[in-house]
Amino acid sequence: MKKTSLILVLVLAIVTVSMVQGQTTKKSHEQNPYTLVYAGAISENVKGKVNIHPVTYKIKDITIAANVYTPPNYNAKQKYPAVVIAHPNGGVKEQVAGLYAQRLAEQGYITIAADAAYQGASGGTPRNVDKPANRIEDIHAMGDFISQYKGVDANRLGLLGICGGGGYSLKAAQSDKRFKAVATLSMFNSGVVRRNGFMNSQFSTIQERLKQASEARASEAAGGEIRYAADTEITDEMADKMPFDLYREGHYYYHRTHAHPNSTFRYTMSSLLDLMTFDASTNMDLINQPLLMMAGSEADTYYMTDDAFSKAVNAKNKELLLINGATHIQTYWKPEYVSQAVDKLGTFYQSNL
Both 21 and 97 in one domain: the answer is no
Note whether residue 132 is domain-resident: yes
DSSP label of 94: T
Both 40 and 5 in one domain: the answer is no
For 324, counting Cβ atoms within 10 Å of its Cβ (0-12 exposed, 13-18 middle, 19+ buried), the class is: exposed
Both 174 and 260 in one domain: the answer is yes
The pLDDT value recorded for residue 6 is 36
Amino acid letter for position 86: A
Nearest to residue 156, comparing CAs of 253, 81, 259? Answer: 81
Both 108 and 19 in one domain: the answer is no
- Does residue 196 register a pLDDT over 60? yes
Global pTM reads 0.92
Q: What is the 3-state secondary structure (H, E, C) of 223-266?
A: CCCCCEECCCCCCHHHHHCCCCHHHHHHHHHHHHHCCCCCCCCC
Average pLDDT taken over every residue of the chain: 93
Give yes or no for a contact between 326 and 58, defined as CB atoms under 8 angstroms apart. Answer: no
- Does residue 3 register a pLDDT over 90? no
By percentage, how much of the chain surpasses pLDDT 70? 92
Nearest to residue 252, comparing CAs of 95, 142, 136, 118? Answer: 95
pLDDT tens for residues 287-338?
Answer: 999 999 999 999 999 999 999 999 999 999 999 999 999 999 999 999 999 9
Both 121 and 76 in one domain: the answer is yes
Nearest to residue 153, comparing CAs of 64, 82, 251? Answer: 82
Note whether residue 288 is domain-resident: yes
Coil/strand/helix, residue 23: helix
pLDDT tens for residues 144-167?
Answer: 999 999 999 999 999 999 999 999
Write out the residue range of the structural domain in which residue 8 sits.
1-31
| Mean pLDDT of the region 235-260 | 97
